[in-house]
Structure 1
Amino acid sequence: MKSKGVTFSQEPREEEYGTVVVFEDLYGNRWDLYQNRQN
């Protein structure tokens, strides 16, 4: 995603439900991208 110009607000972090990273779109809106934890 970085190679396509996506700006990440922070490093990925581990939560109880999975991995989360926050990124900004072209208009400055922040989005949370989740990857569910495997059971």
Structure 2
Amino acid sequence: MWVARDARADLAQLVLDNLDDLTTGILARPTAGTDEDPHTTRPR
């Protein structure tokens, strides 16, 4: 994204925003012992 925007965006902020998105995705992921199909849930 940074290169695609001609390096005009704040690189540190882009990294922090992406880490926030990653953390949100990890925390939202179901954990073992839920009602989800165990064959579709990857082990941690």
Q: How does the TM-score come out when normalised to structure 1?
A: 0.22
- Structure with greater proportional helix content: 2
- Structure with greater proportional strand content: 1
Higher RCO by CA contacts (8 Å cutoff, separation 6 or greater): 1
